[in-house]
Structure formats: structure tokens, C-alpha cells
Chain A
Amino acid sequence: MLKLMKYEIRRRLQIILIVLAVMAFIEGLILFGLYRGGPWLLTSFILTILMAIGVYLFILFDSIRTYYIDLNRNEGYMLFLTPNSGYRIIGSKALVSFLELVFFVLILVSFLLINFFTAKNLLINSSMEAKEMYDAITQAFQIFTPSVGHIFLLSLTTVLQWFSIIMMATLAITLTKTILSNTRLSWLISLGFFIAIYTGLQFLDMGIISIFGFINDMSNLANTAVITENDFPTISGIIFKYVTIMTVVYSAYISIFYLISGRLVSKRINI
């Protein structure tokens, strides 16, 4: 498995380095905007959002791209001729995607922290609005992440959620190759499978959290007329109840997608 991972990383390395360089450039622009202040602040804010979305999309597309090439182009022979089962091949790709995801999330979080503290130091005393915004953000942090453990759990769930999307895409591509191996526009059929699985799981997610009392919890929250600091632990408790549930649910999805994809690659797929 480690050998497969080594080649998977080597293969992705060039594009990873390019994305890192682009991120560094964007981060430079964001910091420049923060220092300049005024209308530049909005640019910095938009760039921050775009960078975060871009990084997540890049990891998804990079994982899809390498797997799609292996299944649909002749280069894939090199991989599938090796004495490795479908489970190992899918497993190595999944682990590299996961590591890539964690790596980029850590970089992204580092950039976000740098931006936050830079903005705080530069702007907090500049106006009343800036002070109010800072207070609102710190208050939100108190509710959403009251402890380091909560920060870790929230980060883990976010990573697992996106990783489950990557594995869902892997399954969609595998299903297309299994059922309709010689079809043109197979990527379009894969996209269809992906949307179908994604939609189905959205309903399943709603069903699962409903079982754990989601509707009641939301009604109780809505009935609270004025939220005070005393309500923070309750709100945080409710949020993290569902964060914990979804961590388990996403882990289950990832395992199921992995097992089905691995079996199909081992037993059914014609490369």
C-alpha cells in the first residue's frame, strides 16, 4: 500500500506545488488588502472565501482526475497490472486524497489565522464597527468552539464530510466504468451517478438526524426568545451533538463507498 501511495503522491506532486504557489500569491494579495484597508478590505474578504472554496474543489477534482485517468486511459494499465487488489488500489488513492485534504486544510487554517490576527492588530482600534465585528466573531467562536476538543471535532467532521464527497465521486466513476465501460461521455454518466447518490444521502442524513431529535431541538431553539450568554452551553451542546452524529455517519459512508468501489475494481471492472 505504501508503494502505491508513493507513486500516487509523485503523480500529484507537480500540481500540488502549483496550487501551493497560487495560494501563496493569493495570501499575499489578501495581506496587502488588509494593510491598505478601506475598499481593499472587501477584496481581501472575497479572496479569502474564494481561496477556501478553491482549495476544497481542487482536492476533489485532483482526486477525480487521477482516478478517472487510471480507469479510462492506457496509463491505468501500469497500475492495474501490479499485483494489488482493487481494495488496495482504491485504499491508496483514498489515503493520499485524505492526506492531501488534511495538508491543504492545515495550510488554509494557518492562512486564515494569519489573516485574522493581522486584521485584528491593524483594524481593531480603527473604528467602532471593527471593534463590534471582532466582538461578534469572538462570541461566535465561544458558541461554536468552546474548547480545543470542540475545534478538533468540528475540523474532523468538516474534513470527513469533504472526504466522503471524494469517495462518493470515486464510487460514481467506478459504477460508470463497471456498468457502461465503453460509453462516450462517461464523465457525464459519472456526474449523474454522483448527483443521484448525493441526493439520496441528503435525505438519509435528514432521516438520521431526525431520529436523534433534530426537529425538537430546533423547535426548542426557535422558541428561545432572547439568547443570552447562559444559553451558549445549550446551543453548543446541540450543535456538537449533531456534529458527533455526522462524524460517525460520514465515516460509515466513506467505509461503504470504499468497500463497494474496491470490490467492483477487483471483480468487475474492465480496464
Chain B
Amino acid sequence: MVVLKTSKLSKLFGGKYAVKEADIMLEAGKIYGLLGPNGSGKSTLMKMVAGLFHPQNGKITVLDIPAGTETKKYVAFMSTEQFFYGYMTIRQVGGFYNDFFDFDMKKYERLAKGMELEMDMKVSSLSSGMAAKLKVAATMSRNASIYMLDEPLNGIDLIAREVIITSIIEQLNENNVILISSHLINVMENILDEIILIKNGSIVFRDAAENIRMKRQKSIVEIYKEVFSIA
């Protein structure tokens, strides 16, 4: 089942392409890695799918529905920036998600506890690491068709990384898809089913992780270095 499809998707900022004619198709039951250096267009692409940015050209469909207000129900996006209202407590963030989305409050509480977040803590008082954990807990507690996590391990300590990676794997089923962008390719490598490499806004490489390992006899890190010419 195709969950997300984009065709000829483009976005310009100040006359320069942030994303250029990107065609991607994500199938249910898989974890995709969207990889590329800083400024390659990963976040812009995700934000267009999430409905935060409007594309200049091209189409996005989620479950065959053109992207818009309706598809936001099915898209769980976690931006790399902290984006919760500072006046809220962690409990109120859960309440907000529960009010607007199909949301598993018990799972949220469990994840928050696992990451040592207290429900009565105010968002404005959280350290950057705690705020990063909260983003993951809130996003992964949604029952969505597509999860898009932009740098989910940024600012996360080693112990919490495991909790996050476990929660990502747990959330995957035959009806949803997970798209992750990360600089920590070696950490994420083992959980990715497919990788999509993006360079200067264009999709330049796409293959299944298994193919990369078995046929090409390379690791994802090696392919990444090859494509982006890192010595």
C-alpha cells in the first residue's frame, strides 16, 4: 500500500530550489531514511508533506488524498526544532494532541516516563534534551499513517536513544510508514529498510538497505560517503 507519493515536487526559497522535482513513493510497513547533508532539502520536503510549506510545483498525496487539511490527520510530523507552546505542561501537550489527533494517551505517558519526563513539568522549563524527548513521545503516540521524524536523535543522550529507537520500531505496522532524517546514519542504519539520498534538493539515490548490503556489499555510511563525495 502506497502511503505517500510526491511527483515533481518543488519548492523555491529566494529563487533557489530547496527541493527540486522530487518524486518519492513510500510504502506501508517500512522505515525509510531520508539522508543528506545540511541544506539538502530534507526538512523542506518533510514540511511540505506535513502541510507547513506549500509547494511551488508538483503534487503530494497521502493515502491517495491530495495534501491539505484532511491529510494532516494521517501525518505525524516531528520537526527538528522545539515547537510546543512554552506555557503548556507535558500533560497539556498530551491533552492538545489528544484533542486534535487519534492519540494514545497511555502510550504517551509510558514513553514520557521512560524518558524521565514528569507530566507536570512546563515546556518552557525543559532542557533541549528533554524537549527533544518530548517531541518524540508526542509524535510516536499518535496513531498516524505516516510518521516523519526530522533528526529524532538530536540532543538525545545514549540511554534515551535506545528508548526512542525502540518506540519507532514498535510503532511500525503494515498500515503505516516511517520516514526519518538523521545525521547519525551509523546509529539508524540497522533499523532502516530503504534509504533516499537527497542532494541540493534533488533525490539522487534510492535503494533498499538490504540491496546495499547484499548486492552492493556496502554499508549505508559508505554509500552516503560515496554519493556526497566525502573522503
Interface set, chain B 69-85, CB cutoff 8 A to A: 69-70, 72-73, 75, 77, 79, 81-85
- Does residue A268 face the partner (Cβ distance < 8 Å to B)? yes
B46 to chain A, nearest CB (A): 11
B228 at interface by CB-CB < 8 Å? no
CA distance A224 to B96 in the complex (A): 63
Q: Is A84 an interface residue (CB 8 A)?
A: yes
Bound Cα distance A47, B197 (Å): 65
B50 within 8 A of A: yes
Interface presence of A251 (CB below 8 A): no
- A75 with B86: CB separation less than 8 A: yes
Among listed B28-36, B51-59, B179-187, B217-225, interface-contacting one: B51-59
Q: Is the CB of A81 within 8 A of B54?
A: no
Q: Cβ of B96 and Cβ of A78 under 8 Å apart?
A: yes
Q: Decide yes or no whether A184 CB sits under 8 A from chain B.
A: no
Task: Give the contacting residue for A74; candidates B73, B79, B101; CB below 8 A.
Answer: B79
Interface residues as binary, A70-82 with B (CB distance below 8 Å gives 1, 0 otherwise):
0000111110111
A82 and B82 form a contact (CB under 8 A): no
Shortest distance from the beta carbon of A65 to any chain B beta carbon, whole Å: 13
Which residues from chain A contact B70 at a C-beta distance below 8 Å?
83
Using Cβ atoms and an 8 Å threshold, which residues of chain A touch B52?
A: 77, 80-81, 270-271
Give the bracket for the number of chain A residues in contact with chain B: 20 to 34
Given the complex of chains A and B, what is the CA–CA distance between A6 and B50 in angstroms? Answer: 24
B205 at the interface (CB under 8 A from A): no
Q: Which of A11, A77, A84 has the most CB of B within 10 A?
A: A77
A271 to B101, CA, bound (A): 20
**Residue numbers in B under 8 Å from A10 (CB-CB):** 87, 92
In the bound complex, how far is the Cα of B50 from the Cα of A47, in angstroms? 50
Q: Which residue of A lies closest to B95 (CB)?
A: A7
Partner of B83, one of A3, A75, A85, A269: A75
Q: Which of B54, B77, B86 contacts A267 (CB 8 A)?
A: B54
Complex interface: chain B residues within 8 A of A271 (CB): 47, 52-53
Complex: A74 Cα to B79 Cα, angstroms: 9
Q: Does A266 contact B (CB under 8 A)?
A: yes
The docked-state distance in angstroms from the alpha carbon of A252 to that of B79 is 39
**Residues 150-181 of B at the A interface (beta carbon under 8 Å):** none
Contact status of A84 and B53, CB under 8 A, knowing A3-B99, A78-B83 = no
Given contacts A75-B84, A75-B85, contact A84 B79 (CB under 8 A): no
A-B contact pairs, 16 of them (CB 8 A): A3-B100, A6-B99, A10-B92, A14-B87, A75-B84, A75-B85, A77-B83, A82-B72, A82-B100, A82-B101, A83-B73, A84-B69, A268-B54, A270-B53, A271-B47, A271-B52
Which residues of chain B have a CB within 8 Å of any CB of chain A? Answer: 13-14, 47, 50-54, 69-70, 72-73, 75, 77, 79, 81-87, 92, 96, 99-101
4 further A-B contacts with Cβ under 8 Å, apart from A3-B99, A82-B101, A270-B54, are A74-B83, A80-B51, A83-B72, A270-B53
